[in-house]
Amino acid sequence: MLEEHNNITNEDQEPNIKNPGLFASKISENPLIIIDGKVATKNAMDKLNPNSINSVNILKDKTATIKYGNKGKNGVIIITTKK
């Protein structure tokens, strides 16, 4: 079996190609998304040019809820763009 990050293939399966968005993954719960200090949508995040990103931080569990309250219960994605 041949395994690749994000795409798993073997002799019996076709490659599982994900949407090529910036954060193409299965997000079962909607995390809070913050871009440059402002709440944003997943659509806005997906439209970001990867070359414009300075940093990405992920908060989860207690850290997310301490900082963002109930809004952070599903995690927080914090993106800072180059200015």
Q: What is the pLDDT of residue 23?
A: 52
User: How far apart (Å, rounded) are the C-alpha atoms in residues 66 and 72?
Assistant: 8
Q: What is the pLDDT of residue 5?
A: 40
Specify which residues 77 forms β-bridges with.
33, 58
pTM score over 0.85 = no
pLDDT along the chain (83 residues), means of 10: 39 46 58 97 95 96 96 96 91
